[in-house]
Amino acid sequence: MSKLVLATRNKHKIEEIKTILGDLRLEILTLNDFPYCPELPEDGQTLEENSLMKAVTVHRFTALPSLADDSGLEVFYLRGRPGVRSARYAGENATDEENNEKLLKGMRGVAPRRRSAQFRAVMTLVGEGFQETTEGVCRGRLAESPRGSNGFGYDPIFLPEGFVRTYAELSSEEKNKISHRAKALEKMREVLSKVPRTR
Protein backbone atom coordinates (compact mmCIF):
# COMPACT_ATOMS: atom_id res chain seq x y z
CA MET A 1 0.00 0.00 0.00
CA SER A 2 1.31 3.50 -0.80
CA LYS A 3 1.64 6.07 1.95
CA LEU A 4 0.50 9.68 1.64
CA VAL A 5 0.98 12.42 4.25
CA LEU A 6 -1.57 15.23 4.37
CA ALA A 7 0.32 18.47 5.06
CA THR A 8 -2.25 19.78 7.52
CA ARG A 9 -3.40 19.63 11.14
CA ASN A 10 -6.86 21.01 10.30
CA LYS A 11 -9.12 18.18 11.49
CA HIS A 12 -12.01 19.18 9.23
CA LYS A 13 -9.84 19.17 6.12
CA ILE A 14 -8.38 15.81 7.19
CA GLU A 15 -11.84 14.29 7.60
CA GLU A 16 -13.08 15.62 4.24
CA ILE A 17 -9.96 14.55 2.31
CA LYS A 18 -9.91 11.07 3.88
CA THR A 19 -13.59 10.55 3.01
CA ILE A 20 -13.22 11.80 -0.58
CA LEU A 21 -10.15 9.61 -1.21
CA GLY A 22 -11.52 6.68 0.82
CA ASP A 23 -11.73 4.34 -2.16
CA LEU A 24 -8.07 4.72 -3.21
CA ARG A 25 -5.51 2.18 -2.02
CA LEU A 26 -3.61 4.69 0.10
CA GLU A 27 -2.53 4.72 3.70
CA ILE A 28 -3.30 8.31 4.62
CA LEU A 29 -1.17 9.85 7.37
CA THR A 30 -1.35 13.42 8.68
CA LEU A 31 0.89 15.83 10.55
CA ASN A 32 -0.55 14.36 13.75
CA ASP A 33 1.62 11.32 12.93
CA PHE A 34 4.69 13.62 12.73
CA PRO A 35 4.52 15.84 15.84
CA TYR A 36 8.07 17.11 15.31
CA CYS A 37 7.42 18.42 11.81
CA PRO A 38 8.31 22.15 11.77
CA GLU A 39 5.55 24.79 11.52
CA LEU A 40 4.38 25.07 7.95
CA PRO A 41 5.09 28.36 6.18
CA GLU A 42 1.87 30.20 5.21
CA ASP A 43 3.25 33.62 4.32
CA GLY A 44 2.90 33.36 0.55
CA GLN A 45 0.93 35.85 -1.52
CA THR A 46 -1.22 33.20 -3.20
CA LEU A 47 -2.94 29.91 -2.43
CA GLU A 48 -0.61 28.30 -5.00
CA GLU A 49 2.54 29.49 -3.20
CA ASN A 50 1.33 28.37 0.23
CA SER A 51 0.15 25.03 -1.05
CA LEU A 52 3.52 24.31 -2.66
CA MET A 53 5.51 25.45 0.41
CA LYS A 54 3.45 23.21 2.71
CA ALA A 55 3.77 20.14 0.47
CA VAL A 56 7.54 20.62 -0.02
CA THR A 57 8.17 21.15 3.72
CA VAL A 58 6.32 17.99 4.69
CA HIS A 59 7.83 15.89 1.90
CA ARG A 60 11.34 16.97 2.97
CA PHE A 61 10.64 16.16 6.61
CA THR A 62 8.89 12.82 6.12
CA ALA A 63 10.54 11.60 2.89
CA LEU A 64 7.01 10.47 1.91
CA PRO A 65 4.68 11.78 -0.81
CA SER A 66 2.86 14.77 0.64
CA LEU A 67 -0.44 16.43 -0.29
CA ALA A 68 -1.17 20.02 0.78
CA ASP A 69 -4.47 21.93 0.60
CA ASP A 70 -4.45 25.71 0.68
CA SER A 71 -7.91 27.13 0.35
CA GLY A 72 -9.89 30.30 0.82
CA LEU A 73 -13.09 32.19 0.22
CA GLU A 74 -12.96 34.87 -2.50
CA VAL A 75 -15.67 37.54 -2.38
CA PHE A 76 -16.07 39.50 -5.62
CA TYR A 77 -17.40 42.68 -3.96
CA LEU A 78 -14.20 42.67 -1.83
CA ARG A 79 -12.00 42.10 -4.90
CA GLY A 80 -11.15 38.52 -3.91
CA ARG A 81 -10.68 39.01 -0.19
CA PRO A 82 -10.31 37.31 2.28
CA GLY A 83 -8.72 34.86 -0.22
CA VAL A 84 -5.28 33.73 0.86
CA ARG A 85 -5.88 35.41 4.25
CA SER A 86 -9.10 33.50 4.96
CA ALA A 87 -7.82 31.71 8.08
CA ARG A 88 -6.55 34.95 9.63
CA TYR A 89 -9.03 37.54 8.27
CA ALA A 90 -10.02 38.93 11.70
CA GLY A 91 -6.50 38.58 13.17
CA GLU A 92 -3.68 36.10 13.73
CA ASN A 93 -5.56 33.79 16.14
CA ALA A 94 -9.08 34.62 15.00
CA THR A 95 -11.84 32.06 15.51
CA ASP A 96 -14.17 30.98 12.69
CA GLU A 97 -16.96 33.03 14.31
CA GLU A 98 -14.80 36.18 14.39
CA ASN A 99 -13.84 35.74 10.73
CA ASN A 100 -17.48 35.22 9.70
CA GLU A 101 -18.57 38.24 11.72
CA LYS A 102 -15.93 40.50 10.16
CA LEU A 103 -16.84 39.37 6.66
CA LEU A 104 -20.59 39.83 7.16
CA LYS A 105 -20.00 43.26 8.71
CA GLY A 106 -18.01 44.34 5.65
CA MET A 107 -20.87 43.16 3.42
CA ARG A 108 -23.73 44.72 5.42
CA GLY A 109 -26.35 46.28 3.13
CA VAL A 110 -24.83 44.77 -0.03
CA ALA A 111 -27.67 43.43 -2.22
CA PRO A 112 -27.97 39.65 -2.85
CA ARG A 113 -27.01 39.97 -6.54
CA ARG A 114 -23.71 41.61 -5.53
CA ARG A 115 -22.79 38.99 -2.91
CA SER A 116 -21.12 36.53 -5.32
CA ALA A 117 -18.29 34.52 -3.81
CA GLN A 118 -16.34 31.37 -4.49
CA PHE A 119 -14.37 28.88 -2.47
CA ARG A 120 -11.10 27.87 -4.10
CA ALA A 121 -8.78 25.02 -3.09
CA VAL A 122 -5.29 24.48 -4.45
CA MET A 123 -3.88 20.99 -3.90
CA THR A 124 -0.19 20.22 -4.35
CA LEU A 125 1.27 16.75 -4.36
CA VAL A 126 5.04 16.47 -3.95
CA GLY A 127 7.00 13.22 -3.97
CA GLU A 128 10.36 11.84 -5.04
CA GLY A 129 10.67 13.02 -8.64
CA PHE A 130 7.06 14.17 -9.09
CA GLN A 131 4.96 17.25 -8.43
CA GLU A 132 1.35 18.03 -9.38
CA THR A 133 -1.00 20.92 -8.66
CA THR A 134 -4.77 21.04 -9.13
CA GLU A 135 -7.46 23.60 -8.39
CA GLY A 136 -11.12 23.28 -7.46
CA VAL A 137 -13.69 26.07 -7.37
CA CYS A 138 -17.21 26.14 -5.93
CA ARG A 139 -19.20 29.23 -6.91
CA GLY A 140 -21.98 30.70 -4.81
CA ARG A 141 -22.83 33.74 -2.73
CA LEU A 142 -22.67 35.02 0.82
CA ALA A 143 -25.67 34.57 3.11
CA GLU A 144 -26.98 37.52 5.19
CA SER A 145 -26.34 35.71 8.48
CA PRO A 146 -24.76 32.42 9.64
CA ARG A 147 -26.89 29.25 9.35
CA GLY A 148 -26.12 25.60 10.09
CA SER A 149 -23.65 23.77 12.30
CA ASN A 150 -21.87 21.25 10.08
CA GLY A 151 -18.37 21.76 8.67
CA PHE A 152 -16.03 24.60 9.67
CA GLY A 153 -14.68 28.02 8.75
CA TYR A 154 -16.96 30.06 6.51
CA ASP A 155 -19.38 27.16 5.90
CA PRO A 156 -22.30 28.83 7.77
CA ILE A 157 -22.26 31.93 5.53
CA PHE A 158 -21.65 30.38 2.08
CA LEU A 159 -24.56 29.43 -0.20
CA PRO A 160 -23.28 27.18 -2.99
CA GLU A 161 -24.86 27.76 -6.42
CA GLY A 162 -28.10 25.79 -6.88
CA PHE A 163 -28.74 25.46 -3.13
CA VAL A 164 -30.87 27.47 -0.70
CA ARG A 165 -28.89 25.96 2.18
CA THR A 166 -25.44 27.02 3.35
CA TYR A 167 -22.43 24.65 3.23
CA ALA A 168 -22.97 24.21 7.00
CA GLU A 169 -26.57 23.06 6.41
CA LEU A 170 -25.49 20.37 3.93
CA SER A 171 -24.64 16.88 5.11
CA SER A 172 -20.97 15.96 4.75
CA GLU A 173 -21.94 13.66 1.84
CA GLU A 174 -23.61 16.58 0.04
CA LYS A 175 -20.72 18.97 0.67
CA ASN A 176 -18.16 16.38 -0.43
CA LYS A 177 -19.93 16.03 -3.79
CA ILE A 178 -19.84 19.69 -4.78
CA SER A 179 -17.09 21.33 -2.74
CA HIS A 180 -13.98 23.13 -3.99
CA ARG A 181 -11.93 20.51 -2.10
CA ALA A 182 -13.75 17.61 -3.79
CA LYS A 183 -13.24 19.17 -7.24
CA ALA A 184 -9.51 19.73 -6.70
CA LEU A 185 -9.12 16.16 -5.40
CA GLU A 186 -11.10 14.74 -8.32
CA LYS A 187 -8.50 16.20 -10.68
CA MET A 188 -5.70 14.78 -8.50
CA ARG A 189 -7.25 11.29 -8.37
CA GLU A 190 -5.45 9.86 -11.39
CA VAL A 191 -2.01 10.94 -10.13
CA LEU A 192 -2.81 9.80 -6.58
CA SER A 193 -3.75 6.35 -7.81
CA LYS A 194 -0.21 6.03 -9.17
CA VAL A 195 1.71 7.18 -6.11
CA PRO A 196 4.58 4.71 -5.79
CA ARG A 197 4.63 2.22 -2.93
CA THR A 198 6.89 3.19 -0.07
CA ARG A 199 9.14 0.74 1.75
Shortest distance (Å) from residue 177 CB to ligand ITT: 13
Give me the phi and psi of 23, to 5 degrees please.
-85, -5
Minimal distance, residue 6 CB to ligand ITT, in Å: 8
CA distance 179 to 100: 19
Closest contact distance (angstroms) between CB of 135 and ligand ITT is 13
The smaller minimum CB distance to ligand ITT, of residues 73 and 192, is found at 73
Q: What are phi and psi of 101, to 5 degrees?
A: -65, -45
Which residues bind to ligand ITT, rule: CB under 6 A?
8-10, 13, 42, 69-73, 86-87, 99, 119, 151-155, 167, 179, 181
Distance CA 162, CA 70 (A): 25
Least distance between ligand ITT and beta carbon 96 (Å): 6
Q: Which of 23, 43, 69, 70 is catalytic?
A: 70
- Phi/psi for 120 (5° steps) reads -130, 135
Please say which residue, 45 or 197, places its beta carbon nearer to ligand ITT: 45
Q: Strand pairing partners for 135?
A: 122
Q: Which is nearer to ligand ITT, 70 or 169 (CB)?
A: 70
SS3 87: helix
70 noted as active-site residue? yes
**Is the CB of 34 or the CB of 152 nearer to ligand ITT?**
152
8 A C-beta contact, residue 89 and residue 72: no
Distances (CA, A) of 112 to 141, 157, 159, 190: 8, 13, 11, 38
Residues with a catalytic annotation lie at 70
